[in-house]
Structures are given as structure tokens and as C-alpha cells.
Amino acid sequence: MEKTARLKVTDAFGVQKILPLLKPVFTIGRKVDNDLQVMSNGASRHHGSIIYENGVYLLVDTGSKRGTFINGERVERTELHHLDRISLGGVDDYQIQFIASDAPVELFSSAATGPQVASAEPRLSATAKEQLKNLARYVEVNQAFKFSLTPNDVLRLIVDAAVELAAAERGLILLINQEGKLTFKVARDNKRNNVPRKDFALSTSIVKQVVRKQQTAVLKVGDEPSDTAHSVMFLGLRTAICVPLIRFQMQDKMDATSDGRRELIGVLYLDSRAVTGKLSQTSLKLLESLAFEASKAFENVRLMHESQEKQKLEREFQTAREVQVALMPVNSVKSERFDLVAHSIPCRYVAGDFYDLMRLPDGRVALTLADVSGKGISAALLAAVAQGVIEAQFSAGHSPAEVAGTLNRVIVNRSDANRFLTMFCAVVDSDGGLAWVNAGHNPSILARRDGQTEELATKSLVVGAFDFAEYHVSHTRLGPGDVVFSFSDGVTEAVNSSGELFGDERLLELVRTSVSLTAEKIKDRVLKELLAFTSGLPQGDDVTVVALKMK
Amino acid sequence: MDLNLRANGKVTILDLQGNLTIGAAEETLRQRVEELVTDNQKYLLINLENVPMIDSSGIGSLVKSFTHAKNKGGKLKLLKPSRLAQQLLSITGLLSVFETFDDEATAVASF
């Protein structure tokens, strides 16, 4: 990879990270949507950007409240040079340094640790420090390169780092679930093994206290003989530390200098049976800083993971869509006496609508247009089953009424969800004889060559709802130039921006005045008018049409 | 959609308020009817007076509720469906299945 310029950032807790400037515009500010989120008192929500332009990096103030400074000098739009120090709002709790593209950078050089960590800390091992830095690095690398770290990976890293940092024996994380209850996520020992939840006796009183006060609590045997201390003793523990995991949610209309909304997402709990030395204030601070970074890291990874899962799901939907399209392979049938065309536009990835056109062995053609109640995958699955039954029934030479009757029995017997389908199915022969069943579907339009129209409406029941439903075939004779137009309710119930329905009458008129066109042109005209009517509004339902034109 | 229950003689009336469309509303209706039937309240009258909009999933929940009540020896009827609901029931052929009433007293007396 080509080397990019980087930012070396030391946060208020003395935690360092290196951020590659991978984007042409790299944003900095307090809000979470920035490329670098700076929880500094001097920073505005969208404070500034670093823009890569004509081979140089420019620091641009994007309307911050307290100004942007390079090496102590206030700037609006200035080229950055190697080792320039950037300060937001003149507050130096964050240290941001620009590292030019060609300069080597020493990751986490020991000399540059922040002031809080700098004091001598006897109990804090070098590896614990390294752990904390590693965690920060993990997060940044993960953000920069979209590595597929799962939320649980992050939680394990956090617990391992915390156990080491506090020289505890074991640690665990409880997170607040959607119902607002603390639930167990991960437990680890100091040898980095997973510990089963049942082996982890937890002092619930200390956890409750931390949840209530949102402050770290440390309990040791020998402290005041409170209930909590008793429970710690009862569990055979010498020490328990519980740290709140808090997320800061930045609010849109918030003043740039306020703190944002604190939200408890869970707790980190550490304990030890061994007598441990006094945990120093510095260690505690570091542990809290770890918890803070951890909350942020976890939240980021969780969001990223969710979006990856969503993409995966979308790919699966796409596949389902392709399968469904493959199930409707024939969208037109031409014969000497008539043309038949069909088209379906799902409003989601997959439709509950479907059509089926098939040539029968005896030369007749069967056509079906159906609409499964409900939407999405479950509707599409029932549609696929129904299509299979219909094809098999027609292929075996059954009439539309027998097809509907069999399909009804199949669905009533197999489906216990409240699903059914409405359907128009028909067989047309070369003499213009149309044998059809309308099972609870919108009546198809019959437009005669001379401008007369009829509705092919019989009141047969929907398919798949009642075991007692019966279906009967109706017969209609079609003459040269006559048109039969079938549609799903996605056509007539389409709504325009004024809330007006497309409606039955508009469709009837459209078909009536299109009767001289070919089947293909009639279909196109209706779909075009429908699109113009809804002009740009999202499609509310699947739209399916079938047009039959006698020659 | 809101669903409130009241008794009129041996009949339990389900007063619906709001659209009976795909999602929570149809689920609510179906579950409530199942609970009532399990609880041996088998004469159910669904009041659709304040239901402006019903979609195919809503019809599905009525169908399922109807079938459930019928299978357990109960009855389910409809009160005051809107013009749109009537149209939908008519297209789907369900007017031949559901008894519908415009008047509560007549409806209750029919059970």
C-alpha cells in the first residue's frame, strides 16, 4: 500500500493512536460521524477537515466555535507540514500531530505517553500498558481497514486488557440488552481462557451500585462491614472492581462544549481471590480510560458488524430475487391467434405477486396472475410453492377450477400462518375460448375491439383460507382484436403525491383506449402511465400485469 | 391500532380503532382472538366502525381469526365494515363467508 500521511493522536487519557489519512476529506470533531472523534472541550461538533488537494494536505476550519490552531497559531485554511501540532479550540487535552507521507513513524513511542500515564506506576506492568495501547490500535486499524472483528472479539480483548491492567484473576462483561437487562457476554481468566458463566459468582450488589451511580466501585474484604462487603466475602473474594461502560451520544442541537448524553451500555467486572496490593489511583484511572475506549470500540465494531450483517442479508435477498425471476422465465407467449405478455415489478427484493404463462401440450396456453397476502420473504416462499402446484396441475391437463381447488387444499393443509392468495387463472385456446377462474382477485378487464368493456368478475373465494372453498370455471368467447388485461392491486392502489388512488376507472379507461395496440404496447403504456402518476414516490406494493391480445 | 373488549350478553365485542394493516395490528387481532377462544369466549363480534383501512394482511388476520373460532366451535362476525372494507371483502369473495351487520343489536341477537 502506498504510504499516506497520518495523524498521531494522544487523547486526554494519554492513549495514543495513529490514524492514516485515507480519505480525501478527513473530518475532525466531537460528533461520532467524524473520521476522528475528539472528546475535547475545545472541539465543535464538526470542527474541521484535513483535505488532500494537489498533493498537499490542508487543514481547514469548518466553522468551529473556538477556532483551529497549528503550532499555537489560529488558522482557517493552511497547508500542513511534518510534525505540525494541531489544537482544537486552543485546548490541549488532545494532542494531534501531523506526520507527512514520507516520514517514518514510530508507533506508540514510549517517550510520548500522555501526562497521566507518565508518573511512575509500580503495579502497572509494561504489558498492561501495551495491552491498552494495543486495544486502541485494534480499534483504529479496524475502523480504517474494516477488518472483520466481531463485537465479541472486541469484548474478549477488553476483558483481557482489563484483567492484566488491574492484575485481577478474572474479568467479565455484562451488557445491557434491548429489554434493559444486564446480560452476560464474556468472562476470561488471567491466562486468557474463557470462563463459563456458571463458574463466575458475581457480587450483584456491587454491580447494582455501579449501574445506579455510574461510577467505578472497588470492594475489598476488610472495608467497612457493609452488606456488599459481606457478599464479597461470601463469594470467597478478596477484591472486586466494577467499572461502568458508558457511551457518549452526541446530540445534534447540542452546544459544542457540553458533554453529550451519557448512556450506560454495561459493566466490566474484575475480581481476585488473592490478596492484592492497593490498586493505585493511577491504575484505576487507567482502568476507567480503558473502559471508555472499550465502550467506544465496542460500539463502533457493533455498528460496523450490523452494517456488514445487513449487507449479507441484502445479498441473500438479491439471490432470492434472482431465484424468483428464474421462476418466472417466460414473459411472453406468441401464437398465430394471440399474443400474451406479462411483467412484474416487486416493491421489495422479492414479491408476493407472481405470474405464470405456459404452453400446454394440446396447444392451448395457461395464464395465471396471483397475489399472496403480506409481503417479503414469507410471501415469496408461498408464491414459489403455489407456482409449482399451478404448473404441475396445468401440465396434467386440469382445468382452472381444478387448479384453484387443489392449490386451496395444499395451502389450507400446510400453512398455519394467516396467508392466502388471490388469483386469476385461465386457459385460452386458438379459437378464442377463454376458460377462467377469479379467486378473490381484482376483476380482469375485458376490452372489446369496438370499445365495449366488461369485468371478468365472479365471486370465488380467495385460495388457501378455507377448506370449504369451491371454484367454478367461467367461459368467455374472445373475438379478433379483443384484449384481456389482468393486474395486481399494486396497480389500482398506487397513490400519487396528493394521496389520490390510481384507481379502477383510470385503468379501465387506459386499457379501453389502448385496445388497438399490441399486447406488449398495452403493457408498456399502463406501466408508463402508472410511473408518471406516482412520479418518483416509492412503490408501495408489488405491481404485476398480464396482457392478452387476440389477433 | 387499539383493540378494546366489551361484553354484550354472551357476545364479546372487539372494538378496533385504527388501520388493520400488515404488521402489529394484524398480529394483535389474531393473538387476541386466540386468547379469547382459549378462554372459552367463542362468540366474537369485530367492530370495524373505526377502521378506515384494511389491507390483504388485515383480511388475512380476519380469515385466520374466523377459522380459529370456527374450529373451536365458536362464531366470528363483523360489525360495520367501512365501504373500502366491504369492497375488499366483496372482491376476495369473503362476503359469502363473513356475516356482516350494520347494527349491533341485530348482530348480537344473531349469535
Taking contacts as CB-CB distances below 8 angstroms, the residues of chain B near A471 are: none
Taking contacts as CB-CB distances below 8 angstroms, the residues of chain B near A419 are: 60
The answer to whether A499 faces chain B, any CB pair under 8 Å, is no
Among A373, A419, A492, the strongest candidate for a mutation testing the B interface, having the largest count of B CBs within 10 A, is A373
The answer to whether A462 faces chain B, any CB pair under 8 Å, is yes
C-alpha pair distances (Å), A344 with each of A351, A504, A542: 9, 19, 7
- CA-based nearest residue in chain B for residue A371: B56
Report the CATH fold assignment for A1-112: Tumour Suppressor Smad4 (2.60.200)
C-alpha pair distances (Å), B10 with each of A271, B41, B42: 63, 8, 9
How far apart CA A187 and CA A190 sit, in angstroms, is 10
Asked if A422's CB is within 8 angstroms of B56's CB, the reply is yes
Among B30, B33, B91, B98, the strongest candidate for a mutation testing the A interface, having the largest count of A CBs within 10 A, is B91
Asked if A441's CB is within 8 angstroms of B60's CB, the reply is no
* DSSP character string of B32-99: HHHHHHHTT--EEEEEEEE---B-HHHHHHHHHHHHHHHHTT-EEEEE---HHHHHHHHHTTGGGTS-
Provide the number of CB pairs (under 8 Å) joining chain A to chain B.
Answer: 56
Taking contacts as CB-CB distances below 8 angstroms, the residues of chain A near B60 are: 373-374, 418-420, 465
In A419-438, the residues whose Cβ lies within 8 Å of chain B are 419-420, 422
Taking contacts as CB-CB distances below 8 angstroms, the residues of chain A near B64 are: 417-418
Q: Which three cell numbers stand for residue A529?
A: 402511465
Q: Going by C-beta distance under 8 Å and a sequence separation of 6 or more, which residues neighbour residue A15?
A: A114, A132, A133, A136, A289, A293
Phi, psi of B80 (to 5 degrees): 50, 55
Q: What CATH number does the domain located at A328-550 have?
A: 3.60.40.10
Q: Which residues of B touch A (CB under 8 A)?
A: 22, 26, 30, 56-57, 59-61, 63-64, 67, 90-97
Distance from CA of B103 to the nearest CA of A (A): 25
Q: What is the ipTM of this complex?
A: 0.74
User: Where in the sequence of chain A do the CATH 2.60.200.20 domains occur?
Assistant: 1-112
Asked if A462's CB is within 8 angstroms of B96's CB, the reply is no
Map grid coordinates 472497588 to a residue: A218
- SS3 percent helix, strand, coil of chain A, rounded to 5, is 30, 30, 40
Give the distance from CA A414 to its chain's centroid. Answer: 32
* DSSP character string of A355-401: EEEEE-TTS-EEEEEEEESS-HHHHHHHHHHHHHHHHHHHHTT--HH
Asked if A420's CB is within 8 angstroms of B63's CB, the reply is yes
Asked if A422's CB is within 8 angstroms of B92's CB, the reply is yes
How far apart CA A245 and CA A170 sit, in angstroms, is 17
Residue of A418, A442, A465 lying closest to B91 (CB–CB): A442
The vertex-A341 CA angle with A355 and A475, nearest 5°, equals 75
User: Where in the sequence of chain A do the CATH 3.30.450.40 domains occur?
Assistant: 119-325
Which amino acid appears at position A457 of this protein?
Answer: A
- CA-based nearest residue in chain A for residue B29: A418
Architecture of domain A119-325: 2-Layer Sandwich (3.30)
- CA-based nearest residue in chain B for residue A471: B93
Taking contacts as CB-CB distances below 8 angstroms, the residues of chain B near A417 are: 64
What residues pair up with A240 in beta bridges, in sequence order?
Answer: A219, A271
Asked if B60's CB is within 8 angstroms of A420's CB, the reply is yes
Give chain B's domains with CATH numbers. 2-109 (3.30.750.24)
The answer to whether A129 faces chain B, any CB pair under 8 Å, is no
- CA-based nearest residue in chain A for residue B60: A418
Q: Going by C-beta distance under 8 Å and a sequence separation of 6 or more, which residues neighbour residue A332?
A: A339, A340, A341, A342, A357, A519, A520
- CA-based nearest residue in chain B for residue A442: B91
How far apart CA A370 and CA A55 sit, in angstroms, is 60
The answer to whether A353 faces chain B, any CB pair under 8 Å, is no
Segment-wise mean pLDDT, segments of 10 residues, chain A, 551 residues = 72 72 82 79 87 85 90 90 88 83 48 32 48 57 52 80 79 87 88 81 82 82 50 59 78 45 84 62 71 75 74 73 72 90 83 88 92 79 86 91 93 74 94 94 95 88 90 95 95 89 94 96 94 82 93 91
The pLDDT value given to residue A514? 96
Asked if A371's CB is within 8 angstroms of B93's CB, the reply is no
Asked if A440's CB is within 8 angstroms of B63's CB, the reply is no
Contact B12, B44 (CB under 8 A): yes
How far apart CA A466 and CA A419 sit, in angstroms, is 11
The pLDDT value given to residue A110? 32
Distance from CA of B93 to the nearest CA of A (A): 4
Taking contacts as CB-CB distances below 8 angstroms, the residues of chain A near B91 are: 422, 440-443
Across the beta sheet with B75-79, the strand order is B2-8, B11-17, B43-50, B75-79, B100-101
Residue of B59, B93, B96 lying closest to A373 (CB–CB): B59
Taking contacts as CB-CB distances below 8 angstroms, the residues of chain B near A420 are: 60, 63
How far apart CA B100 and CA B80 sit, in angstroms, is 7
Q: Going by C-beta distance under 8 Å and a sequence separation of 6 or more, which residues neighbour residue A12?
A: A39, A40, A93, A94, A114
Give the distance from CA A95 to its chain's centroid. Answer: 35
The pLDDT value given to residue A3? 60
Taking contacts as CB-CB distances below 8 angstroms, the residues of chain B near A375 are: 22, 57
* pTM, 2 dp: 0.55
Phi, psi of B35 (to 5 degrees): -60, -45
How far apart CA A382 and CA A377 sit, in angstroms, is 9
Asked if A461's CB is within 8 angstroms of B92's CB, the reply is yes
What residues pair up with A411 in beta bridges, in sequence order?
Answer: none
The pLDDT value given to residue A59? 93
The answer to whether A374 faces chain B, any CB pair under 8 Å, is yes
Residue of A374, A459, A489 lying closest to B93 (CB–CB): A459
Residue of B30, B94, B96 lying closest to A418 (CB–CB): B30
